[in-house]
A and B are shown apart, each in its own frame.
Chain A
């Protein structure tokens, strides 16, 4: 009898869907995590970010990111994340250089950063550079948002959104994109994106007078702080079963790692920000540092997967831009 080695759950599901091994496709986004420092310390944070973290991208590494963009015009988008990416002293350098190269820039903004002393000019800087703002707002009510992100975060986030609205963000015809992120405030899956987006639009307008463009629903990944919460609350097994049961082959085809490369604060290349936090770099035969960035080789790489990947393929799927199927 031939010896058969069982594939891990995620790979077995990919295999059954004819998608194993998962391979990259055309890369159109460079997602750069510029550091783990954050003015918040959210309970679900997969970066385990917080005010006491010291990891941050150095200027030389930021320059290598810009070099890679310059060499690869096919990469249309620079997606900057953290921590609170705006706390990195080279954030504005990255934005202005990438914009000068004609690239679309996304700032994954926690909104409260707009009021941190020394960052008062930030909102205007983002608007002047026509940066797309993707902002977390796990629910349109204070209680559930604060339970995840910290007491008082909701009220300040609303103020942040009002400030962005005043600058034109989210307003029809302004070209300044303001997208919100819904993520479940516990061990459950997100609702249908279109339905909750319509509800957010109505509630955010009615309750707070706020407008925005799109709502992205993102599934919580069973890693880092959220995994810790799952384990402590006795939900880990049940949550993983839920993700596995909701595996959607159509989502697997469109997982975001196929179209992006993720760069860590020290320049290491990863398949996504989640693999980055699990310290799982891109496969060994690919370039593994931004200084060696090679679009041709990276767009042919096999993706390094783990059980956490089930978070990207449950239901309508999940990515930094919301559902994928």
Chain B
């Protein structure tokens, strides 16, 4: 295996449903429905997708949602802000665990 990640896999996504097409069908229907316009616009959903993609660091999702942001009329300023939100939430989540570390230290300290 030359690479762990292959960008062509993105267009082959559906192949993962070979063994259980029924489950895959349900997944795609649900996935598609979550991204439809609703109380949030398609662009807002694409920006959320992009932010989450960065938080989970999935290169497929980053590629896909970056394109969706463009195709819903978004721009790199908006995308950058969304990525900062994802990053700051991640950073905050790490930082707040610092209290656990401090508590752990307290527990054994005189």
Contact = CB atoms under 8 A, between A and B. Distances in A.
B109 interface: no
B75 A144 contact: yes
Interface residues of B, number: 11
Contact of B72 (A144, A182, A192, A241): A192
Given A195-B41, A241-B11, A188 B71 contact: yes
A105 B43 CA distance: 36
Nearest to B75: A141
Contacts of A195: 41-43, 72-73
Nearest to A185: B70
Contact of B71 (A139, A144, A191): A191
Contacts, number: 30
A199 interface: yes
Interface of A: 139, 141, 144, 182, 184, 186, 188-192, 195-196, 199, 241
Chain B CB within 10 Å, residue with most, of A186, A188, A241? A188
Interface of B: 11, 41-43, 67, 70-73, 75, 77
A191 B42 CA distance: 10
Contacts of B67: 188
A196 B73 CA distance: 6
A188 B73 contact: no
Nearest to A184: B70
A186 B75 CA distance: 12
Given A184-B70, A186-B70, A241-B11, A192 B42 contact: yes
B75 A139 contact: yes
A268 B41 CA distance: 45
Contacts of B71: 184, 188-191
Say whether chain A's binding surface is mostly helix, strand, loop, or mixed: loop
B11 A191 contact: no
B75 A199 contact: no
B82 to A, nearest CB: 16
Given A195-B41, A241-B11, A188 B72 contact: no
A191 B75 contact: no
Given A195-B41, A241-B11, A188 B75 contact: no
Contacts of B42: 191-192, 195
Contact of A199 (B11, B70, B73, B77): B73
A203 to B, nearest CB: 10
A186 B70 CA distance: 9
A195 B72 CA distance: 8
Nearest to B73: A191
A137 to B, nearest CB: 13
